[in-house]
Structure 1
């Protein structure tokens, strides 16, 4: 079953946001791409189990909000399903070496993302 796997948090000030989430929830951050202002974070559940992972970067546009991503086996299959179910696919793109993502709207106008792991993405 598809489930939430990643939550992107856009920021205006990365260091301020990292400090806020670390001080509040003890989130751990790593910077996998030295050339980008983007950090990955990991969370821990209330019982100590690994929680949802996510990313934090600079806000791309004034309206950009937190976006939750659902892991799927195939972007193409699920973008078709989303449109047939009455949703919209706003854009899709590769993340080279990592996978593919698409940003979508559900039938209620809520934004969400889907993600396909694929290390051969270009």
Structure 2
């Protein structure tokens, strides 16, 4: 199992699910990925932490109807100083939703938008090191930003988070770059301007590892989820886009050697 102390600065270091049915979500992801759970006390608002084989991998929390937001996964980027990152992001054209929040004995966080309006979070470590396992079944293996403003998005994340990016393809049909950390591509950035629905600014998506993508899809459907994009073989492994029972989307990826 691939474990780590913490993610590189600027890279994704935590994910959590906002869901309108917390109990059903736990049942679903437990059945699909084998997750086990621990629920925080009142000081953490009942926040649920999911683990794979005892290693922390994700969080789950209830979706407040007052937020008027769909159920969704959120990707958090590692920062050493949440306040400074918020200031830098705002100066670069991004936004901050509600300031910086202290999570007792865990860290500091803020919810952000980039200049194109794509929602994401930042996490500053202070006891909670983020997801401790990756590139394993049921754990994150990759993250992707799909955006209407491809060039502007790359400039923003390079400026604020220090990304080192590499162009993979630069055609009208497929425009894509990766953000590399210590020589490893942990994030992809896709130009979604051609195919994103009207009014949708883009999104951050998480890819979970699967020993067998097709069998995992069968589990997803059997437990009330759905297939958004059928499994297909690609140069980067066998991939699929799916959704949980309340519509929160995520991706599957076969595990690479």
The answer to whether residue 157 in structure 2 is matched with residue 24 in structure 1 is no
Asked whether the equivalents of residues 178 and 185 of structure 2 are also in contact (C-alpha less than 8 Å), the reply is no
**1:53–1:10 distance in 2 versus 1, CA, 3 Å:** same
| Distance in 2 between residues matched to 1:26 and 1:16, nearest whole Å | 14
Asked whether the equivalents of residues 69 and 112 of structure 1 are also in contact (C-alpha less than 8 Å), the reply is yes
Task: Kindly indicate whether residue 151 of structure 2 is the aligned counterpart of residue 15 of structure 1.
Answer: yes
Go from structure 1 to structure 2 and tell me whether the alpha carbon gap of 1:79 and 1:93 turns closer, same or farther (over 3 Å shift): closer
Bigger relative contact order, structure 1 or 2, given CA contacts below 8 A and separation 6+?
Answer: 1
- Where do 5+ consecutive residues of structure 1 fail to align? 45-49
CA distance in 2, matches of 1:31, 1:51: 14
Tell me, yes or no, if structure 1 residue 39 matches structure 2 residue 194.
no
Gaps of 5+ in 2: 1-136
In the superposition, the TM-score normalised over structure 1's length comes to: 0.78
Matched, 1:54 2:195: no
Aligned residues: 114
How far did residue 65 of structure 1 move?
2.3
Report the aligned-residue RMSD. Answer: 2.6
| CA gap 1:93/1:65 in 2 versus in 1, 3 angstroms | same
> Which is greater in Rg?
2
Residue of structure 2 in register with 1:47 after alignment: none
